[in-house]
């Protein structure tokens, strides 16, 4: 028998963060646990806890204050009502690293991208979410391990290797993550890629995968990506008359005999700019003008077949381009003045050395917008040389020192004009018909490309995939899939909150310092209710709010998330 001070409390009080129970509410709406259990190969008689519940523990742990490694994942749920989060009979000891590791293996064997797409489509149908276009991009995730198994002969799994690091860590091996979101920033499809996968290869593969996921519905959508999308194989894929796929991208300067530069020159020659305005109606955002052109591309594939592809080209001019050139001229002049002062102080022993230094300085400034003129001059001085003079002084010697002089002439008009055109204009390319995409809407839709970049930023936060400590590559793929489900939940919460906010006639002052809560992000909502707990004891539930203002805050946020506040157990 234990001493009195160690007696186990039978009626213990559990404190579960509201933000974690809110995430559980959304996961239940996606039918997450049952979807995994249906699609994974597992034995109900051998497994004490289903793989769906074990995967659920990984996702819920990303909503905890501290993210512990997978082998200590049960510590995320210390002091919480585990049976409320999972189901009766599950204890923290069930959430061990061996069981979670086997679950990751099962997910990898079933196909991470396929399972994620099924879960994401559940979200799109549950929340009745229409969408018109898709944004696609990739990002790199650096790893500190060796992963020498990827170099072994016959290896066919995820290749963790060196590649172009978007994390600015070329010293580390990496894998890539490709993600596709809709205009609301909600991820529809994702895939973990080899560390040296190029964006152009990802786009080709992503479009083929989307055809399997969406089927004929993809014909009504516009696929938006950066300039890496614009390659001959990708345009041939989009020009297939049977599939009628639509795309929108930035036209690279070097594509198809410098097509972008050609239409830019046509735009300045015609000078028939159409005012588009700013993306937001205020004085702080850039205003744009644009012109539209039509071109027919002749592209030959690998089989030497000729493809005739009609495209539309939008040339946009930013009215802030002049200001950027002026700032660039100021910075260049300051930089040249500082380098000029250092060079002119330096003396050279011969004319050849001075001329060599002058030539190198001029070459380094050849592409600058400011013209300079460099000359050399000499100074002679008579001296007795080194050492004491003595009784019989040595004859005077003439020492000549050569110097470089830099004269700033001023801005080069031709280069400034060309730089201004580059700075203020860019070209978008599409095969979308005018009734689906106009000059103005094309710019608005393309500028939404940042939504997928925001998702990558969240993915690399400490609560998610800032650091991955897994040796087996298939488990890395499965973990990244589960982390994307966590991102999916956050995106759905944000979408739901902003849509329900539009239904209110007046926004309450429940933000920090009693400010108006408007257009909130999920991260901001979590910060507001960070300290509020769902307390459970003796099968009774209540919220740990300390004031009426805090209760109003909780009620408003739960309204935005479409979660009933009357019945805490329903979370």
Exposure string (b/e) for 447-464, b if CB count within 10 Å is 16 or more? ebbebbeebbebbbeebb
Per-residue confidence (pLDDT) for residue 191, from 0 to 100: 92
Per-residue confidence (pLDDT) for residue 384, from 0 to 100: 65
Q: What is the mean pLDDT of residues 266-291?
A: 84
pLDDT tens readout for residues 379-406 = 888 776 666 766 676 677 778 888 999 8
Instruction: Answer whether residue 458 shows pLDDT above 90.
Output: no
Instruction: Answer whether residue 44 shows pLDDT above 90.
Output: no
Half-sphere CA count of 420, side-chain side, radius 13 A: 16
Per-residue confidence (pLDDT) for residue 462, from 0 to 100: 61
DSSP code per residue over 365-426? TTTSSEEEEEEEEEEEEEE--SS---SSPPPPEEEEEEEEEEEEEEE-HHHHHHHHHHHHEE
Q: Rounded to 5 degrees, what are φ and ψ at 357? A: -65, -40
Per-residue confidence (pLDDT) for residue 4, from 0 to 100: 41
Which stretch of DSSP H or E encloses residue 55?
helix 51-61
Hey, how many other C-beta atoms are within 10 angstroms of the C-beta on 288?
Answer: 23
Half-sphere CA count of 300, side-chain side, radius 13 A: 3
Instruction: Answer whether residue 250 shows pLDDT above 90.
Output: yes
Token digits of residue 397: 């010697």
Hey, how many other C-beta atoms are within 10 angstroms of the C-beta on 425?
Answer: 21
Instruction: Answer whether residue 284 shows pLDDT above 70.
Output: no
pLDDT band per the 50, 70, 90 thresholds, residue 431? very high
Per-residue confidence (pLDDT) for residue 321, from 0 to 100: 64
Instruction: Answer whether residue 71 shows pLDDT above 80.
Output: no
337 CB-near residues (< 8 Å, 6+ apart):
408
Pick 133 or 566 by higher pLDDT: 133
- Most confident region among 417-421, 459-463, 546-550 by mean pLDDT: 546-550
DSSP code per residue over 223-260? EEE-GGG-SHHHHHHHT-TTT--EEEEEPPTTSTTTHH
Instruction: Answer whether residue 304 shows pLDDT above 50.
Output: yes
At 212 the three-state DSSP class reads: helix
Q: With 0-12 CB in 10 A as exposed, 13-18 as middle and 19+ as buried, what is 170?
A: exposed
Q: What is the mean pLDDT of residues 473-480?
A: 91
Q: What is the mean pLDDT of residues 176-182?
A: 92
Please, are residues 164 and 171 in contact by the beta-carbon 8 Å criterion?
A: no
Per-residue confidence (pLDDT) for residue 5, from 0 to 100: 41
Instruction: Answer whether residue 259 shows pLDDT above 60.
Output: yes
Q: Could you give the CA distance from residue 429 to residue 292 in angstroms, rounded to a whole number?
A: 10
Q: What is the mean pLDDT of residues 433-437?
A: 92
Hey, how many other C-beta atoms are within 10 angstroms of the C-beta on 132?
Answer: 12
Instruction: Answer whether residue 3 shows pLDDT above 50.
Output: no
Pairing of the two strands 222-225 and 246-250: parallel
The pTM assigned to this predicted structure is 0.83
At 316 the three-state DSSP class reads: strand
Per-residue confidence (pLDDT) for residue 291, from 0 to 100: 94
- Lowest-pLDDT range, 33-37, 49-53, 87-91? 87-91
The overall average pLDDT reported for the chain is 86
Q: With 0-12 CB in 10 A as exposed, 13-18 as middle and 19+ as buried, what is 28?
A: middle
Q: Could you give the CA distance from residue 415 to residue 418 in angstroms, rounded to a whole number?
A: 5
Instruction: Answer whether residue 10 shows pLDDT above 50.
Output: no
Instruction: Answer whether residue 371 shows pLDDT above 70.
Output: yes
Torsion of CA 128, 487, 150, 159, to 10 degrees: 50
DSSP state of 139: E
DSSP β-bridge partners for residue 533: 17
Per-residue confidence (pLDDT) for residue 398, from 0 to 100: 79
Pick 202 or 244 by higher pLDDT: 202
Per-residue confidence (pLDDT) for residue 8, from 0 to 100: 38
pLDDT tens readout for residues 319-346 = 776 677 888 888 888 988 998 899 888 8
pLDDT band per the 50, 70, 90 thresholds, residue 515? confident
Per-residue confidence (pLDDT) for residue 204, from 0 to 100: 92
Q: What is the mean pLDDT of residues 483-487?
A: 92
- Lowest-pLDDT range, 240-249, 251-260, 334-343, 350-359? 240-249
Residue whose C-alpha is closest to residue 130's, from 188, 62, 46, 79: 188
Question: What's the start-to-end Cα distance of the chain, in Å?
Answer: 38
Instruction: Answer whether residue 478 shows pLDDT above 80.
Output: yes
């Amino acid at each position: 028998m234990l001493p009195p001070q160690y007696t186990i409390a039978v009626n213990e009080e559990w404190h579960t963060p509201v933000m974690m129970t809110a995430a559980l509410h959304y996961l239940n709406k996606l039918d997450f646990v049952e979807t995994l259990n249906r699609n994974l190969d597992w034995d109900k008689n051998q497994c004490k806890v289903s793989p769906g519940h074990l995967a659920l523990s990984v996702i819920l742990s990303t909503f905890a204050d501290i993210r512990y490694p997978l082998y200590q994942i049960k510590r995320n749920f210390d002091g919480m009502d585990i049976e409320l989060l999972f189901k009766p009979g599950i204890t923290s000891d069930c959430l061990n690293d061996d069981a979670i590791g086997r679950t990751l293996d099962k997910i990898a064997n079933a196909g991470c991208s396929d399972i994620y797409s099924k879960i994401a489509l559940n979200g799109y149908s549950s929340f009745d979410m229409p969408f018109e276009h898709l944004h696609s991009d990739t990002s790199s995730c650096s790893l500190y391990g060796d992963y020498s198994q990827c170099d072994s002969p016959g290896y066919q799994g995820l290749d963790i290797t060196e590649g172009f690091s978007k994390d600015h860590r070329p010293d580390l091996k990496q894998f890539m993550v490709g993600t596709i979101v809709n205009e609301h920033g909600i991820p529809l499809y994702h895939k973990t890629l080899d560390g040296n996968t190029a964006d152009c290869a990802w786009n080709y593969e992503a479009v083929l995968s989307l055809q399997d996921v969406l089927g004929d519905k993809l014909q009504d959508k516009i696929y938006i990506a950066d300039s890496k999308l614009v390659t001959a194989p990708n345009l041939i894929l989009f020009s297939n008359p049977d599939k009628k796929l639509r795309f929108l991208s930035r036209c690279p300067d070097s594509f198809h005999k410098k097509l972008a530069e050609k239409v830019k020159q046509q735009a300045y020659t015609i000078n028939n700019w159409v005012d588009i305005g700013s993306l937001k109606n205020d004085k702080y955002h850039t205003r744009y003008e644009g012109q539209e052109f039509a071109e027919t591309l002749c592209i030959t594939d690998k089989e030497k077949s000729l493809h005739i592809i009609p495209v539309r080209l939008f040339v946009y001019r930013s009215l802030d381009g002049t200001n950027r050139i002026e700032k660039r001229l100021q910075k260049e002049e300051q930089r040249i003045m500082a380098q000029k002062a250092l060079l002119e102080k330096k003396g050279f022993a011969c004319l050849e050395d001075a001329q060599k230094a002058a030539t190198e300085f001029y070459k380094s400034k050849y592409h600058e917008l400011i013209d300079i003129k460099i000359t050399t001059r000499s100074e002679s001085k008579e001296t007795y040389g080194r050492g004491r003079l003595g009784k019989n002084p040595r004859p005077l010697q003439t020492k000549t020192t050569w110097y470089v002089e830099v004269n700033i002439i001023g801005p080069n008009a031709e280069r400034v004009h060309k730089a201004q055109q580059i700075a203020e204009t860019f070209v978008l390319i599409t095969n979308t018909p005018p009734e689906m995409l106009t000059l103005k809407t094309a710019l608005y839709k393309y500028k939404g490309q940042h939504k997928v970049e925001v998702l990558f930023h969240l993915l690399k936060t400490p609560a998610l995939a800032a650091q991955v400590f897994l040796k087996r590559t298939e488990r890395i793929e499965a973990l990244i899939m589960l982390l994307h489900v966590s991102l999916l939940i956050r995106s759905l919460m944000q979408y739901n909150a902003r849509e329900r906010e539009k239904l209110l006639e007046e926004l309450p002052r429940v933000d920090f310092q009693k400010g108006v809560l408007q257009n909130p992000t999920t991260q901001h909502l979590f910060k507001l209710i960070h300290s509020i707990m769902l307390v459970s004891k003796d099968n009774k539930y209540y919220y740990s709010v300390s004031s009426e203002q805090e209760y109003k805050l909780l009620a408003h946020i739960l309204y935005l998330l479409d979660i009933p506040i009357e019945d805490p157990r329903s979370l």
